[in-house]
Amino acid sequence: MKISAPVYHLKRKAKLLSRLEKIPLHKALDRIAAGEGFDSWSLLAAKISEVSHSAKLFEQLRAGDLVLIGARPGHGKTLLSLELAVEAMKTGKSASFFTLEYTRKDIVDCFRRIGADWEKFKGLFEFDTSDAISADYIVGRLASAARGTLVVIDYLQILDQNRDKPELMTQIRKLKSFAKDKGIIIILLSQIDRLYDPAAKPFPEITDVRLPNPLDLSLFNKTCFVNNGEIRFQMAG
């Protein structure tokens, strides 16, 4: 059975319902679950865990991968990337998150929204918001990263914002080479061009990635596009 929205959206609806109707949260959760066709929230949660997009996607990732995740704002690409980081950390691997968009408080909140215990994973999770973020900076920071480390860069276009940095193509080639040499997984989140029309096609495609400057997108060996909590994954070639 397919639910109508990502689980974090359903939890948000339940909290709102709990406040509006002054009922315990567990009862609000059960009512939301009933609206999705489940007898209780626990049954819905169990079903979601069976078909977790992130778990299925993580199974497709390999050491050395350079992955692009694209979506319009608010459609879950950051949460998906953090779910993948959690999947890696569940196996004992480390994860790193490079961003100029989020604060540490934002990320802690994102962990809560995806149902992950920040305290449990924070020893394996590195968070970096330096203005110097670039391929050279990331490679330097991850010089001692262990094989299997999962790295998220939020987002592709921030690498292209500073004219003092190498051109985007050079940076992505460096990251691809670094991922392969170190045996790590690097995921770059990407904005989607404003011309993309979801009414015309349900998922963005590689041609919809917003690129202010030229980039050979075939450098990514795996891509994933997100729309309304659903994902479309593709391996290059």
Contact 66, 219 (CB under 8 A): yes
pLDDT band at 106 (very low <50, low <70, confident <90, very high): very high
Chain mean position to CA 187: 8
When pLDDT is averaged across residues 200-218 and rounded to a whole number, the result is 92
Distance from C-alpha of 96 to C-alpha of 69, rounded to nearest angstrom = 16
Task: Indicate the pTM of the whole model.
Answer: 0.80
Q: What pLDDT was estimated at residue 45?
A: 78
Angle at 10 between CA 108 and CA 225, to 5 degrees: 75
- Could you confirm whether domain 53-235 is CATH 3.40.50.300? yes
Average pLDDT, the chain: 91
Domain segments of the chain: what residues?
7-50, 53-235
- Is residue 227's pLDDT more than 70? yes
Distance from C-alpha of 123 to C-alpha of 203, rounded to nearest angstrom = 35
In this prediction, what percent of the chain has a pLDDT beyond 70? Answer: 95
Contact 118, 111 (CB under 8 A): yes
Chain mean position to CA 30: 28
Distance from C-alpha of 205 to C-alpha of 192, rounded to nearest angstrom = 9
Q: What pLDDT was estimated at residue 84?
A: 96
pLDDT, tens digit (0-9, with 9 covering 90-100), for 128-172:
999 999 999 999 999 999 999 999 999 999 998 877 889 999 999
Q: What pLDDT was estimated at residue 2?
A: 63
pLDDT, tens digit (0-9, with 9 covering 90-100), for 36-73:
888 888 888 777 665 577 888 999 999 999 999 999 99
pLDDT, tens digit (0-9, with 9 covering 90-100), for 185-195:
999 999 999 99
- Indicate the SS3 state at residue 99: strand
